[in-house]
Amino acid sequence: MRIIWAITGAGHLIKESIDVLEKISEEHEITIITSKAGEEVLQLYGYTNTINNIITKNKNNQLIKDEDQQYSYPFSGKITEYKYDLIIIAPATANTTAKIVHGIADTLITNVAAQSGKGRIPLLIIPVDQKEGLLQTQIPPYIDKKLCKKHDPCYANRYCPEDAIHPPKIDATKCTSCKKCEKKCPENAIITDKIIEIYIRKIDADNAKHLNNIENITTLEKPEEILEKIRKMEKN
Ligand SMILES: Cc1cc2nc3c(=O)[nH]c(=O)nc-3n(C[C@H](O)[C@H](O)[C@H](O)COP(=O)(O)O)c2cc1C
């Protein structure tokens, strides 16, 4: 099958989404598209190399970034012409979800979502904000300012291949979450696996529910459910 996999700027479910993307790239032709925030979040959580590896698996695979498109998003106009069988948005931020629900198409991913309806291509979406209430999610590495003694030079930065650690901050534009700095700070000020609790707003959970009212869209709770959906599509 020819599949478009869209990645938005959500840290939540990013690991689970990339795990499934890797699996399906063994058997299917994949075009990965990223939002501007998606591109940043992939780097922040350390998935840039994984994405590049997936692209090299098949000569027809490609990576299309929002920032490389023009205002009219020419790629979205080509999705029916190139005969994609399936489009997946995983993970889908609250922002992209809200735009799709309200028919807004002003980014690469929201344009592809709109065109998928016009071309009657099935669209699977994994919205991250599904149920109002508290949610636990992992955040990228950071420096605990209370523990950091601002050693100059910084001990942990010696192990950083990107020269990203400049106490009291980690440069988010450089850090790739490789975790080579883990436990290298004598003060244990570098935190690499922090789980935080956030509150999912009612408006975002409601938007996620409304996605299913759009003709060609199916929402799934977990990225792993995509595998079963693809198996069913292949049988039919
Ligand atoms: C580290 C990090 C993690 C984020 N995780 C989420 C998330 O899980 N869900 C979400 O809705 N937004 C998240 N955001 C915020 C989005 O990236 C932001 O709203 C962005 O404008 C979304 O753009 P997009 O929908 O075009 O990708 C995160 C931002 C950062 C910096």
- pLDDT tens per residue across span 65-122: 999 999 999 999 999 888 899 999 999 999 999 999 999 999 999 999 999 999 999 9
> What residue's CA is closest to ligand 1, atom 26?
35
Q: Which atom of ligand 1 is nearest to the CA of 66?
A: 26
What are the two backbone dihedrals, phi and then psi, of residue 191, each rounded to the nearest 5 degrees?
A: -105, 120
The rounded Å distance from CA 2 to ligand 1 centre is 27
For ligand 1, which residues put their CB under 6 angstroms from it? 8-12, 35, 37-38, 41, 44, 93-96, 107, 128, 137, 140
Distance 37 CA to ligand 1 centre (A): 6
Distance CA 186, CA 48 (A): 29
Is pLDDT larger for residue 173 or for residue 33?
A: 33
- The residue whose two tokens read 């020419």 is 74
Nearest atom in ligand 1 to the alpha carbon of residue 37 is 27
> Which domains, ranges and CATH numbers included, belong to the chain?
2-130+202-235 (3.40.50.1950), 140-193 (3.30.70.20)
Q: What letter represents residue 213's amino acid?
A: N
What percentage of the chain carries pLDDT values higher than 90? Answer: 93
Q: Which of 36, 65, 95, 191 to mutate to test the pocket of ligand 1 (most atoms within 8 A of CB)?
A: 95
Please give the pLDDT value at position 214.
Answer: 96
Residue with the bigger pLDDT between 172 and 220: it is: 220
Q: What is the mean pLDDT of the chain?
A: 95
Query: Residues 31, 78: contact at Cβ < 8 Å?
Result: no
| % pLDDT > 70, the chain | 100
| Cβ proximity of 64 and 108 under 8 Å | yes
Determine the Cα angle at 35 with ends 106 and 90, to 5°: 110
Q: CB under 8 Å to 152, separation ≥6 — which residues?
A: none
Under DSSP, is residue 39 helix (H, G, I), strand (E, B) or coil? helix
pLDDT at 236: 83
